[in-house]
């Protein structure tokens, strides 16, 4: 496939700065929390020297609590940021994110089914498995509703239908909960959090996120060609059906794996592409890697914030990211008002 070469990045230091931010939030995530760990204790815990009681406590905090939580935050944030950038480019809609296609709501419904029927008590992996399966079911339903149409509008309308159906299923489960404790468990999961995650959750999500990211990052020039419209992309040799199938499967598998271990966390896929877009040449392919890195930085930073905010119970991560999404909507509202 032949396509024009993208213009150079407006800010060549963008990716190095994001990588630096990734390192900084990772180190901060290791050290910050209800029990602060200084650099010396972190190094001692990582390399296993020092045998005092405090060092054993530091190792327990670092390896049992903060390391899995940090890795999951980085993976989930990267997947959500990448998915948002891909969907905004493919659908040519600046407000697109994984929930637009129903992937997030469907994966959340799978987890709710596991909680409602007690399936999650059979094994810790049952909740993630059902979440991922429902994400795949949703993408199959999306293809069935959209049919052979290659228009992004058809996908958006089909996605709204799938998302609404999944949301109705979640509401039904809450409405029919046998007791308040079951409803509270479902609501707590739906608010999104990576608290109390273990290394098992990392291994559950990692294969799905790797496969999903690989599908989304393959052939980024197709997204650039699609910015010319369907006819323009077809004239450049883009197979629209194959591209749509690859991108939708990537979103379903990757986001399904992410939601399976983190709960429903919104707005990351919406916020991050808008934050990095002014520092790129604004082509869809130029947004992919920065959005992936930016999503990891943003979600991990938000997770550090929820640990540090003084409260009787730790705030849910999905609540914090929802508040971060409000300024983005206001910005677009004000910009549209100036254009009227």
* Tens-digit pLDDT profile for residues 72-107: 999 999 999 999 999 888 888 777 888 777 778 888
Mean per-residue pLDDT, 321-340: 69
* Tens-digit pLDDT profile for residues 159-171: 888 888 988 988 8
For 267, the enclosing helix (H) or strand (E) is none
The Cα 281–Cα 244 span in angstroms is: 24
The Cα 209–Cα 185 span in angstroms is: 25
Prediction pTM value: 0.86
**What is the DSSP annotation of 73-107?**
HHHHHHHHHHHHHHHHHHHT-TT--GGGGTHHHHH
- The pair of structure tokens assigned to 262 is 């983190």
**Chain mean pLDDT for the chain:** 82
Could you tell me if 111 and 130 are in contact, meaning their C-beta atoms sit under 8 angstroms apart? yes
Residue 294 has pLDDT above 90, yes or no: yes
Could you tell me if 80 and 144 are in contact, meaning their C-beta atoms sit under 8 angstroms apart? no
| End-to-end C-alpha distance for the chain, whole angstroms | 39
Domain ranges of the chain: 72-339
User: What is the predicted pLDDT for the residue at 300?
Assistant: 94
Mean per-residue pLDDT, 125-142: 82
Grade residue 3 by pLDDT with cuts at 50, 70 and 90. very low
User: What is the predicted pLDDT for the residue at 340?
Assistant: 47
* Tens-digit pLDDT profile for residues 211-257: 999 999 988 888 888 777 777 777 777 777 788 888 888 888 888 88
Token pair 């450049």: residue: 236
CATH architecture, range 72-339: Orthogonal Bundle (1.10)
């Amino acid at each position: 496939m032949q396509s024009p070469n993208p213009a150079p990045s407006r800010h060549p230091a963008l990716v190095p700065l994001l990588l630096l931010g990734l390192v900084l939030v990772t180190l901060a995530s290791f050290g910050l929390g209800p029990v602060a760990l200084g650099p010396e204790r972190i190094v001692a815990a990582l390399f296993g020297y020092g045998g005092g009681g405090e060092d054993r406590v530091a190792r327990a905090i670092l390896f049992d609590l903060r390391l899995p939580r940090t890795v999951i935050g980085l993976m989930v944030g990267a997947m959500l940021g990448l998915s948002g950038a891909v969907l905004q480019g493919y659908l040519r809609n600046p407000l697109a994110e994984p929930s637009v296609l129903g992937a997030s709501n469907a994966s959340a419904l799978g987890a709710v089914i596991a909680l409602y029927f007690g399936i999650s008590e059979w094994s810790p992996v049952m909740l993630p498995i059902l979440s991922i399966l429902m994400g795949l079911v949703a993408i199959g339903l999306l293809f069935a509703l959209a049919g052979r149409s290659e228009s992004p509008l058809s996908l958006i309308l089909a996605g709204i239908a799938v998302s609404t159906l999944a949301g109705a299923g979640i509401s039904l489960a809450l409405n029919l909960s046998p007791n308040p404790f079951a409803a509270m468990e479902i609501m707590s999961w739906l608010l999104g959090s990576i608290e109390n995650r273990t290394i098992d959750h990392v291994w559950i999500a990692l294969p799905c996120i790797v496969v999903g990211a690989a599908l989304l990052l393959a052939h980024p020039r197709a997204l650039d060609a699609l910015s010319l419209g369907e006819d323009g992309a077809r004239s450049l040799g883009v197979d629209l059906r194959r591209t749509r199938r690859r991108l939708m499967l990537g979103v379903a598998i990757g986001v399904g794996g992410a939601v399976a271990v983190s709960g429903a966390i919104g707005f990351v896929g919406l916020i991050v592409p808008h934050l990095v877009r002014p520092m790129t040449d604004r082509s869809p392919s130029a947004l992919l890697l920065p959005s992936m890195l930016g999503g990891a930085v943003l979600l991990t930073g938000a997770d550090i914030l929820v640990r540090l905010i003084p409260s009787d119970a730790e705030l849910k991560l999905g609540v914090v990211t929802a508040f971060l999404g409000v300024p983005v909507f206001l910005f677009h509202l004000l910009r549209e008002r100036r254009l009227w």
